[in-house]
Amino acid sequence: MTDANYMQRAISLAEQGRGWTSPNPLVGCVIVKNGKIVAEAYHEKIGGWHAERNAILNSDTDLSGATAYVTLEPCCHHGRTPPCSDLLIERGIKKVFIGSRDPNPLVSGKGAKQLRAAGIEVVEDFMREECDKLNPIFFHYIQTKRPYVLMKYAMTADGKIATSTGESKWITGETARTKVQQTRHQYSAIMVGVETVLADNPMLNTRMPNAKQPVRVVCDSQLRTPLDCQLVQTAKEYRTVIATVCEDLQKIEQYRPLGVEVMVCKARNKRVDLDDLLQKLGEMQIDSLLIEGGSSLNFSALESGVVNRVHCYIAPKLVGGKQAKTPIGGEGIGDLSQAVKLKLVSMEMVGEDILIDYEIIPHL
């Protein structure tokens, strides 16, 4: 096996932690001695051992003279767990391949520097592009203190998210819906607008065995969320936040005994200022947000510039209808030069449907 093979193995291991490590990054580690893998592990969950410590402490092999392949620069500070750099030095590792650089100011170059100072050969930026793809959420959150935002919608081949009568269950097939459940597990919070609550009465939970449940957020400027809807009635079981600009204490107090957190945000055109909302969610240590809203919320999110990524599911169906809703509503953009630009990340078949994954290209 080559150095690239070992790092690819570390990347595959890191992926196994997806959904469990938030707000920590995904990290994998492979340790090789005499051409054989003698230890490997990944960061499994928040508060648990980091990948390097997991690999080393679960190995009975003498690791002196071994080479480590780590997808992210080893930490060199005391957090929930001791520094990984110290352990790599103590166990006599002679060479470390590092994929991504850690933007966390507590680490950022210091881990690699400490290893070199101890006489360890360090190769930085090894397969960095591949390793960076593991952690767009972590990188964004550590640098901005705001959640990374994915906007997801499903539409027919003629661009409709519902029929002219409002029927939307189900646009996509079962395989695509299962994949959406996996995405919910991977994100810290999920948000819809109040119109979606009124129309669909959703639960917004993750329907997978042993899955992590996202914080449920409703964007509801005037506090119209019904007290008897599923989101409110299950708020003591699943953390639920209503973001509003309404300051009517009588209205607000109706929700609190039911377990709902009401967050009063700044107003923008009499609606919730999404920029302010994201700032507040970031302060709650919510590092990622999945928007599963209707056309109005989707447009507001794009207009506010808070979206980082888009997942567009396309079903092989045609429904037509001038009044049938499209994924992005609102006032729209009149000047094409101001259109939101997208970069294609991937395209794949998910059952009978197509999933297109885009990154938002920021306006300069």
> Which residue ranges make up the annotated binding site?
50, 75, 84, 154, 168, 170, 184, 196, 200, 204, 207, 221, 292, 294-300
52 is catalytic: yes
Closest CA to 345 of 353, 333, 355, 335: 355
> How far, in Å, CA of 75 to CA of 16, rounded?
20
Phi first, then psi: give them for residue 161, nearest 5 degrees.
-100, 0
Bridge partners of 254, per DSSP, are none
Question: Which positions make up the binding site for Zn(2+)?
Answer: 50, 75, 84
Question: Which positions make up the binding site for substrate?
Answer: 168, 184, 204, 207, 292
Cβ(213)–Cβ(219) under 8 Å? no
Amino acid making up residue 40: E
Q: Which of 40, 44, 52, 167 is catalytic?
A: 52
Residue with tokens 């885009």: 358
Residue 303, H or E segment: helix 295-304
Q: Angle CA(151)–CA(322)–CA(153) in degrees, nearest 5?
A: 15
Residue 51, H or E segment: helix 51-57
Residue with tokens 């170059």: 109
Catalytic residues: 52
